[in-house]
Structure 1
């Protein structure tokens, strides 16, 4: 009996050490994930339907803080431009400096440098824009459209201005990576229609790693905290079973 008690006690001490270590590591991952997210991302609440159905009005998104030079075609960006009223807006980049963007070809698609672009995120698949347009984008500029092409106020509304409705890369403050509210949310994937164009598409930010760190940390904290009560309950049950066996044999 005494030997069994020593072994059980040894196992209990090891379990306690491991559970404490799990809680510590969990706290580091959990708090570190939130800290990393706060530094790398800015939250933004979408005010309008201009990005529907990809991102809906009232959605809470996480936008990675980036330099405008990192923006690629297909990115959904947060920006503010004085010629657009200086309000913070959210639109999709469909062309960059040096591109010629036009709509629409015989199949109703957007074209960039003469190449048709498939846009499966559009609600109306019949035509990429209800109005035809064409623009040459100056270097250092971005041509931006909302995914709700029927009602979005975007670069098409500013075609007669200098720069043909494009905004400066310097006006971009962030790139959207995820919708976090309402639940279950989801990640904003890079559209494949722009992959074949020069420069390709951008790589996602660290949002998936951040979510993984937070979730893993929470699970470790819960698991480590639950070990003590479960171990004590199991220990009491085991001790009770052992006493019953002794009494039976007696």
Structure 2
């Protein structure tokens, strides 16, 4: 009898006529299924509670990563073409300027334009803001109306002039060969001669004829200058679409520009 019982547990092919064998086989299958369910065995669905905890942990990780390290942004306009195109999802390095080194000439940055490019009291619908920020974490929503992406042309103390006889922008007396510009436009149709205050930036789009940037705010409070502490981070990568995966190329256009003298450059 003991031998038969042991054989029934091992042999799952017992015929239906063998009542004891069939019942024994079902019993063994139930026992094994129960053990695998408790242990999360292969072929079994993950318990909902565990899946929920893992999902929540992943969401918290992504939110923290986006808030402190790397944040995706969707490019909504053609103002930075050809460098950045409409619909590109870029990754902004939020640690780029955490050290003493601030933005440099030629960097492509994302900044909050509240108080410089848009009224400081400009607000967004609270519900819409929550939804947009949630989608923006994954680069699925356009940035807030106060967020802008531009290229740094002048830093604190720099004298920026447009344009010289060759229709080039000059920084501290040196003409800049801006090879990144959109081929359809000139460096600027707007003439200007400004000195950038310390702690501020002069920024412009690469598609100058289709970019609202520092030039458009010359006669307003702040003169179109962006405070350094309003910079979100530096655009370092294009993450989407797949065909445009790449790091953002740095430019040597400003390599010959000298630092401004103490107290800023003067005409």
Class of the TM-score when normalised by the shorter of the 2 chains: 0.5 to 0.7
TM-score, normalised relative to structure 1: 0.61
Q: Which structure has the greater CA radius of gyration?
A: 2
Please say if 1:58 is aligned against 2:87: yes
Spell out structure 1 runs of 4+ moving beyond 3 A. 34-39, 66-69
Deviations 1:53-94 (A, max 9, x none): 110111000110033752101001000122322611100000
Please say if 1:46 is aligned against 2:46: no
Deviations 1:117-158 (A, max 9, x none): 111111137631122211111110000100010010000001
Which residue of the partner structure matches residue 112 of structure 2? 80
Deviations 1:31-69 (A, max 9, x none): 9xx989755311110111110111011100011003375
Query: Equivalent of 1:165, from 195, 202, 224?
Result: 224
Count of matched residue positions in the alignment of Structure 1 and Structure 2 = 167
Decide which structure has greater helix share: 1
Which residue of the partner structure matches residue 147 of structure 1? 206
Q: Check the 8 A contact 2:185/2:209 in 1, yes or no.
A: no
Which residue of the partner structure matches residue 253 of structure 2? 193
Q: Check the 8 A contact 2:109/2:233 in 1, yes or no.
A: yes
Deviations 1:15-46 (A, max 9, x none): xxxxxxxxxxxxxxxx9xx9897553111101
1:114 and 1:165 mapped to 2: Cα distance?
21
Q: Check the 8 A contact 1:104/1:127 in 2, yes or no.
A: no
1:126 and 1:91 mapped to 2: Cα distance?
16
Q: CA deviation at 1:198?
A: 4.1
Q: CA deviation at 1:194?
A: 1.0
Q: CA deviation at 1:169?
A: 0.1
Query: Equivalent of 2:197, from 134, 138, 156?
Result: 138
Taking the TM superposition and a 5 Å limit, the aligned residue runs for 1:5-24 are none
Query: Equivalent of 2:169, from 110, 120, 126?
Result: 110
Q: Check the 8 A contact 2:185/2:207 in 1, yes or no.
A: no
1:116 and 1:59 mapped to 2: Cα distance?
31
1:72 and 1:125 mapped to 2: Cα distance?
26
TM-score, normalised relative to structure 2: 0.58
Q: Check the 8 A contact 1:107/1:127 in 2, yes or no.
A: no
Q: CA deviation at 1:104?
A: 1.0
Structure 2 residues without counterparts, runs of 5 or longer: 1-57, 123-145, 260-267
Q: Check the 8 A contact 2:186/2:208 in 1, yes or no.
A: no
2:189 and 2:180 mapped to 1: Cα distance?
16
Structure 1 residues without counterparts, runs of 5 or longer: 1-30, 200-250
Q: Check the 8 A contact 2:174/2:256 in 1, yes or no.
A: no
Which residue of the partner structure matches residue 125 of structure 2? none
Q: Check the 8 A contact 2:90/2:238 in 1, yes or no.
A: yes
Bigger relative CO (Cα 8 Å, ≥ 6 apart): 1
1:171 and 1:63 mapped to 2: Cα distance?
14
2:239 and 2:93 mapped to 1: Cα distance?
13
Please say if 1:121 is aligned against 2:121: no
